[in-house]
Amino acid sequence: MEPALSEALLNSILLPIIATDKQGRTLGLNDAARRLLPPDSAEPVGKRLDKLFPEWKALLTEMRGSHEAFRREVQLDSSRVAEASVTPVRDYGWAVTIYDISPFKDIEQAKNNLLGEVTHDLKSPLAAILSFADLVRASGPLNPKQEQFLGRITSAATRMTEQVHQLLDVVWIEAGMKLTLVEVNLLQLVKSTLEIIEPRAAARHIRFVLEAPATVPTITADNNRLGQVIANLVNNAVKYSPENTTITLKIWTEQNEIALSVHDQGLGIAAEHLDNLFQRFYRVKSHQTRQIEGTGLGLYIARSIVEQHDGRITVESEPGVGSTFTIYLPLSLQTA
């Protein structure tokens, strides 16, 4: 193809496209990409991406450390967000294609605002239902039928309250969660969480086993949110485990991380579901799980909190054998 035709073809594309070498220096760009730059900008060819777009330093770092295509959100200006699709170009470097996703972000924000308002408005009537249920119980003896109906009301309102709190957590995550970091003893946090959940497990003859060193290093973390992650993993293990089984928790350190695993002897999860487990509202649907209640938000929330701590969460599972969820957290959290 003639160079003039190649240039004309590239400039006819409405999406901004930038070609760089392996170090992120600009080799060429189409007219749409040039329009992203300030009108008085100097010639961009030969300059590094982070010199043209100072907010793209993280993108440049990832390009230098990667050998495969990837996507990353980047800031175009104070009000616009884009998705950069970065593709390797053999013998040259990278092709960076920019998609302006600001309109979708605005829609997502409006949806989250509505979700936050609706779920927040549901908290008060649910709290009133539970409070009046307690008042009815305290007002005097109830016959068996009344006690049964009141128990159903309390159970349903409690489940709805938990779901509302999860939806509020989603709004908090999507709005850019802020952690309250303190010094946390992971071993003590696990023990206190198990004490709260143990009565529910004991009712189904499920036993907890905790394997950990006598002392473990403290970490910098949000104590409440990390406790929420642990409670979610343990509650899930209880929920999907048959009676008279054991749930084993292990704590250990490796290199610069501390790890916590939760292993159950429950239903297990088929391999085709593992990649989607941490997505919002995703639930494994089968005849075995049909009667088990849930919103499909717990693992999404857990992963988001762990990743905000610069950690990661993994899962290993086999149907009929059980599942192991493991969180890895840095011993020193970078807060800057």
Q: Write the pLDDT tens digit of every residue in 106-118.
A: 766 666 666 667 7
Give yes or no: residues 94 and 109 share one domain. Answer: no
Task: Tell whether 16 and 127 lie within a shared domain.
Answer: no
The CB density around residue 41, as the number of other CB atoms within 10 Å, is 11
Domain that holds residue 135: 104-174
Instruction: Output 232 or 112, whichever has higher pLDDT.
Output: 232
Q: In Å, what is the CA distance from 149 to each residue of 38, 119, 158, 163, 203? A: 68, 25, 14, 21, 22
| 227's tokens | 């406790």
Q: Any idea which of 73-82, 168-177, 267-276 has the lowest mean pLDDT? A: 168-177
Alpha-carbon distance of 253 to 215, in angstroms, equals 11
Asked, for residue 315, whether it belongs to a domain, the answer is yes
Whether residue 80 is predicted with pLDDT greater than 50 in this model: the reply is yes
Same domain? For 310 and 188 the reply is yes
Number of independent structural domains in the chain: 3
pLDDT tens readout for residues 117-165 = 776 777 778 888 888 888 888 888 888 888 888 888 888 887 787 777 7
- Torsion angle, alpha carbons of 208, 282, 258, 174, to 10: -130
Residue 332 has pLDDT above 70, yes or no: yes
Range of weakest confidence among 87-96, 153-162, 284-293 = 284-293
Whether 213 is covered by a domain: the verdict is: yes
| Distance separating alpha carbons of residues 114 and 292, to the nearest angstrom | 28
Of 74, 100, 126, the residue that ends a domain is: 100
Spell out a b/e string for 231-254, using b for 16 or more CB atoms within 10 Å of the CB, else e: bbbbbbbbbbbeeebebbbbbeee
Residue 257 in domain: yes
Residue 202 and residue 160 share a domain? no
Min mean pLDDT across 1-15, 204-218, 313-327 is at: 1-15
Alpha-carbon gap, residue 250 to 309, rounded angstroms: 20
Whether residues 93 and 156 share a domain: the answer is: no
| Shared domain check, 156 and 186 | no
Does residue 87 belong to any structural domain of this protein?
Answer: yes
Evaluated on CA atoms 41, 47, 49, 54, the torsion sign reads negative
In a domain, 335, yes or no: no
In sequence order, which residues have a C-beta less than 8 Å from that of residue 112 and are 6 or more positions away? 170, 171, 174, 175
